Amino acid sequence: MPDTSPEQRNEELHTAKQVQLENVGALTRDQLTPQAAAEPRGHDVPGHDHAPVTAAGPRAPWWHNPYAPAVASLLLLLAGLALDHFRDQAPFFTGFVRLGWYGVAFLLVGWKVIRSAVQSIPSGHVFNEFLLMSLATLGAFAIGEYPEGVAVMLFYTVGELFQDAAVNRAKRSIRALLEIQATEVTVLRDGQAVVLDPKQVAVGDTIEVKPGEKVALDGTLVQGPASLNTAALTGESVPQTKQAGEPVLAGMVNLESLIQVAVTAGYQDTKLAKILALVQDAVGRKAKTQQFITKFAKTYTPIVVVLAALLVAVPYFVVEDYVFRDWLYRALVFLVISCPCALVVSIPLGYFGGIGAASRAGILFKGSNFLDAMRELDTVVMDKTGTLTQGVFALQQVQPAPGTAPEQLLRLVGALETKSTHPIAKAVVTHVGAAAAGVAVENVEEIAGHGLRGRVDGRDVLAGNTKLLAKFGVAYPPEVDQVVDSIVVAAVDGQYAGYLTVADAPKEDAARAVQALKADGITKLVMLSGDKDSIVQRVALELGITEAHGGLLPEDKARYVQQYKDAGHKLAFVGDGVNDAPVVALADVGIAMGGLGSDATIETADVVIQTDHPSKIATARRIARATHAVVWQNIWLAFGVKALVLALGAGGVATMWEAVFADVGVALLAILNAVRIQRTTF
């Protein structure tokens, strides 16, 4: 056990803390989860490499840059075209020299594609864009159209690089959002405080948690008592007092003095690691549109190959002046145009761009399918505490007795409450602020379960519940007993002086969130809470929610949600406490408040709002609609251009250059359109 006490360490918080740099852990992806270490890939076909996201480090040689082969190939292609144009001045540029020149330009960008086409055969993925690109470009070389073969492969590779850049950008934005979680923790070892990466903390170590900090690891309290905000785990706004030996869980927030926690669970079991693993799975959860395009491409590609073969063979029997080379060229153009790159690349990228845009707005979608589901909602059901309200006490109302000024009541009660650590007392002190400064307070007595008694500015003051006044024989109006909020009743010099109400205040953007959802087409807004029904109805009226139910257990919330679903509503449930996890799982879209939300709810949810702002629900719907629009723009663009150029190519009007535009050009346009989502402010 360290030889420094929490009291001593409290004093040390006011001095500069010396930390050795080598002791400050840097949280990296490969330290978190095995899944997180996996680099993003654009396709599932083996051998098709994409540019990885790497941490900052020594600069690699220029030839290791993923863009270097494409740049070199482009320079060789341009130089080759110039030599072709000025062939009279370059008579050497013929035969094997010309083939070798263009061959090098082709292999710089094409060898990975050809390798991918070959390596995909054992896995059964024979008919894919790699096969189409390989057949078309190698066929172009076979009939002597070297520049076209290089151009097709070059621009295809450029499109892939654009895709990688867009995917990696989205990955980085999601990862940056998640990595703002706790990245260091103070560990007591050999009597010294050492700052480490939480990943390096072992079970049995003792960690320190400063006031206002979130507990990073599960453990037991070494010394008590300690006041902790447990709203993340219980959904209750009242802080809990923990004694020595009692469990302290990751996600709780230390409210008062420095505490020590003996670690009982490793960092891999905490919220951050779980969310990162879920992020890695998000790409695999495909939307219906994405699933359709994937299935379509698997059927479409072999049909295209067969049609290209027929385009070469059939004219031999029906065309009088049949020239094999001409019809082979048309078939190759047909293959290039038919490549489904624009669809198989840009549509997943569109959804992933939506996920990336949402992450920058503080919203985590765990899969592209939830983007579609969010757009289709007509009903939003919300918890109250921690979701629409702040989850902390705040002064709501000052009701002085006749003849007593509100300022005087606040000043006397606020000064007396400075001697208490109760959450309700703290809410009063916070509200009163400087008005209670300098007021003489003496002879304070705390009466357990009742409140405080003391002399304030030379006057006898009582502040607590109605039992306190009854104990000292102070009469008060009977309507005081009907107040539903938490109440502080006061008496001055033996006379009733009024009361203050303290309640969990709505979040600043709660009313705006309700109005935004109504304006966004949500026809049914419901609030379900375990709090008193009278309080729930008051909050609902204040926020503009027309249907609200209080006094509910988790199973009651689930019953209401099931009733709405049975009535045909597309429904989202928004909650934060562990008691909300079953209902979050039941909803069509489960949304968790992730800033202080419970691990169980965040893991169960389909969408996590990292900022705890309910107005982000409407933002998530706007992002979902924008993503849907971009995806369908890409679909119609790809099909429209390809259908036109396919007809021209089959008729011998379109050349390989038009085919390049119809394939790679459209893919680039679609990718740029998808990237546009990430640059949009919602």
Q: Which residues are identified as catalytic?
A: 383
Give the separation between CA 508 and CA 485, rounded to whole angstroms: 20
| Strand pairing category for 571-575 and 379-382 | parallel
| Strand pairing category for 571-575 and 441-447 | unpaired
Half-sphere exposure of residue 6: CA atoms within 13 angstroms, side-chain side: 19
Half-sphere exposure of residue 61: CA atoms within 13 angstroms, side-chain side: 3
Which residues are within 8 A (CB) of 241 and not within 5 positions of it... i.e. 6 or more apart? Answer: 224, 225, 226, 227, 228
Which residues are within 8 A (CB) of 527 and not within 5 positions of it... i.e. 6 or more apart? Answer: 381, 382, 383, 384, 388, 536, 539, 540, 543, 545, 547, 548, 549
DSSP assigned state of 222: S
Q: Quick one: tokens of 180?
A: 């703002």
Half-sphere exposure of residue 583: CA atoms within 13 angstroms, side-chain side: 32
501: left (phi over 0), alpha (psi -120 to 50) or beta: beta
User: How many residues does this entry show for the chain?
Assistant: 682
Pair 20, 261: CB distance under 8 Å? no
Pair 464, 496: CB distance under 8 Å? no
Q: Quick one: tokens of 190?
A: 């050999």
Pair 297, 339: CB distance under 8 Å? no
Which residues are within 8 A (CB) of 8 and not within 5 positions of it... i.e. 6 or more apart? Answer: none
Which residues are within 8 A (CB) of 306 and not within 5 positions of it... i.e. 6 or more apart? Answer: none
SS3 94: coil
CA geometry: angle 522, 527, 530, nearest 5 deg: 160
Pair 355, 494: CB distance under 8 Å? no
Name the helix (H) or strand (E) containing 448.
Answer: none
Q: What share of the chain is helix, strand, coil (3-state, %, to 5)?
A: 50, 15, 30
Q: Quick one: tokens of 283?
A: 């790409």
Give the separation between CA 38 and CA 56, rounded to whole angstroms: 17
CA geometry: angle 676, 346, 53, nearest 5 deg: 75
Give the separation between CA 274 and CA 270, rounded to whole angstroms: 7
Four-residue CA torsion sign, 637, 640, 644, 646: positive
Pair 264, 222: CB distance under 8 Å? no
Q: In what order do the strands lie in the sheet with 459-464?
A: 389-400, 495-506, 486-492, 459-464, 451-456, 441-447
